[in-house]
Structure 1
Amino acid sequence: MNYCTEDTSPRTVSGEAFVFSNLYQHYYTSVLKFCSDLIKDRAEAENIVHDVFVKMWTRRSSLKAEMNLKSYLFTSVKNLTLDRLKEIKKSALVQKQFLLEELFETQEEEENQQLQHLSEALGNLSDKRRQILFLNIQEKKSYQEIANDLGISKNTVKNHLIVSKKIIRDRMLWSKY
């Protein structure tokens, strides 16, 4: 026997558990469909609908007699669904932020390792090669200007730069493995 009608009032619900059970059976499917359409996740929709019915049962004594239970149920489901969607969005945002921070930390670590390998490679160069490389790269001097400053030939400058760059390139490639 179904004790639930469209005009079932909270006063009816505040009585026996079997009346509430009939109310649950009467509205569950339609409320679940409504919630599923909002959240697009059947399992989460079932949790929300269950939570709303539990909340209604625990607050049954404070429900007003003139209240429309159908409206109450659908409004409660809508509000709880929107709250859960906000939580999901916030959780996704926090997760995204965490992943970005982790990515930046990883990139920073890689850059630090590359700088360390570059420093080691520069440390393996002779003083003369390091000086020539510094004048060429840092001070933007030409081969001829470096040759004039150091009193060596332009070809010697060129050979030192070729060897220096090869040593650095090899060290940087080796460090990747």
Structure 2
Amino acid sequence: MEDLDLWKNIKDGNKGALKKLHSKYFYQMCLYTIKSTEGNTALAEELVSDCFIKLWEQRNKIEIKNSVEHYLFLMLHNVIVDHFRKKRILTEPLLEKDFIAPANEKEFDDQKQYARLYKAVKKLPSQCQKVLELAVYESLSYNEIAEKLHISRNTVKTQMGRAYKQLREMLDPKDFNFFLLIKKKNSH
């Protein structure tokens, strides 16, 4: 179902359509938000959920004629700005640089790729996921990961091998190569 059809059904009060829209964009929106929340996944998920609640509650007042996706990201941007405005001390001014501008089409494509990677990593067994995240996101060596998780270096190596194998099976080659590029970029 196309986004504009989903939107029409949401305006008509169809919660199933809202759920479909939520499923389609949730991870992508979380990845966008994580950048603004300095990696706080729980806060990012909360802000994205707030965005969908607001969308549902204000569905009768909202007019979307072109891109539902673009509207969602504009709405999310405003939810993020509002959140940080409320958190700041009144004497501290908000700076434009504190917020990420809504994405253009190329950035939407990149975010979709990140969302697919995020979903795939979350499907890995717990130990594989921990090891992979420490290696990729924190750029830790196998020895540092072993020390941090209180496991042997060989276990780290085995878990990384399993993670790569499973990701290669879950992702299409373009997304897997994108993952390798991210890993390489983060390891410098």
Larger radius of gyration: 1
TM-score if structure 2 supplies the norm length? 0.42
Q: Which has the higher helix share?
A: 1
TM-score if structure 1 supplies the norm length? 0.44
